[in-house]
Amino acid sequence: MNESKYRRVLLKLSGEALMGDDKYGINPETLSYVADEVKDAVDLGVQTALVVGGGNIFRGMAASSKGMDRASADYIGMLATVMNSLALQGALEKKGMPTRVLSAISIHQVSEPYIRRKAIRHLEKGRVVIFAAGTGNPYFTTDTAAVLRAAEIHADVLLKGTKVDGVYNMDPIGNAQAQFIDHIDYMSVLERRLHVMDTTAISLAMENELEMIVFNLKVPGNIRKVICGDRTVGTHISDYAT
């Protein structure tokens, strides 16, 4: 497959996706691998944006559960996403891709402020855009930030790279009874409490009729396959379940 089905995509990565086999932090080999996978999309002429979490460095909700003020913990988590975004920017540019980091909180020395029209203009010029610092507000996850940014830039699809093949009816890790779901609608995700994204993110995607594809990032070539419309890869989530 050499032709993209989509004109503009947003790829959501967890912070853990950058750890590789390490227990925390950023693994250089994994970072380079992710950059190569993103390059597959860029080489197809697809306008590509990314949102990366910060869980490999700091997880706000976990810190909050141990007594830290939730808002303060979430702001620290936002800074972790900025660190990951800058690392990802460096890896992408080493592969020859012009990249811009746009942050929802102001850090002028290392990133541009998030401005929707500027983000769209960067995409139109062929630059990879990385949205950092979530929504800029506490109490919102980077999943919700990804859906919000995808809606704002009019992305055709939101791709969520994970460590499993897609969505299952239960946690597939260590559970042989888990059944793979190849296509599901938003309301079923909410009603069945499937752990795809948080409920705010799924509700926002449903309201904006944003197609989502959840796929295994660890399989080389999967980003290219889903962008080219290969329905054998990942779980497709939309407003209908056919």
**Percent helix, strand and coil across the chain, each rounded to 5?**
40, 20, 45
* 230 Cα distance to chain centroid: 19
Tell me, yes or no, whether 3 lies in a domain.
no
Tell me, yes or no, whether 2 lies in a domain.
no
The total domain count for the chain is: 1
Which residue range(s) make up the domain with 160? 8-238
Tens digit of pLDDT for each residue in 160-215?
999 889 999 888 877 888 899 999 999 999 999 998 999 999 999 999 999 999 99
Closest CA to 129 of 152, 106, 109, 162: 152
Output the pLDDT for position 7.
96
Tens digit of pLDDT for each residue in 54-93?
999 987 667 777 788 999 999 999 999 999 999 999 999 9
Tell me, yes or no, whether 38 lies in a domain.
yes
Tell me, yes or no, whether 106 lies in a domain.
yes
* 100 Cα distance to chain centroid: 16
Tell me, yes or no, whether 1 lies in a domain.
no
Tell me, yes or no, whether 18 lies in a domain.
yes
Tens digit of pLDDT for each residue in 34-54?
999 999 999 999 999 999 999
CATH code of 158's domain? 3.40.1160.10
